[in-house]
Amino acid sequence: MFSIDPESGLIRGARQVLSPHCDARPGGAVPELIVVHGISLPPGDYGGPYIEQMFAGNLPVAAHPYFATIPPGRVSAHALVRRDGQVVQFVPFGARAWHAGVSSWQGRDACNDYSVGIELEGSDDAPYEAAQYESLARLIAALCAAYPTLARERVVGHDEIAPGRKTDPGAAFDWARLRARLKEPVA
């Protein structure tokens, strides 16, 4: 079971790799939306250090030819759920992570301002692991308990807030499985 300290915005017991790629939420904005992403670096490779290095700002561009194709810029997410279900936190939930880019949800732009970004280690066309769905459901439950402005019904994919620009978490992500799990009590 995860628990979140709403004051610090940190997950108790999770591994922390804090990213410099974040800032304060503007004008009293609070988390109201959870955005699910999918990521692997290089694409289709799992378990390496590169996601953490990218979010921490020290991705070794020479380590793989694909890394040279990543547009320059600073990017982060609040948390990453690894293939084995391990959760790594990069940005405290009260801060603004830079995960959504140009985005809109229900007519409201700039989703980074009011959302939590959770990356799943994976790709659009490969099934995600059972441990990831379990950890994601537990993390969402903990977020909703810590922040009353969040609700289990306000969970969307990156593709939904940036249609035509983003495709993650992809067709392989089982939304029905997650939604069913979110309706169950999370132990």
Crossing angle for the helix pair 130-146 and 175-183, to the nearest 10 degrees? 50
Among 52, 119, 121, 129, the active-site one is 119
Sequence-distant (≥ 6) Cβ neighbours of residue 128 within 8 angstroms: 38, 120, 122, 169, 172, 173, 174
Does the annotation count 7 as an active-site position? no
SS3 31: coil
Is residue 9 within 8 A of residue 83, CB to CB? The reply is no
So which residues are the catalytic ones?
119
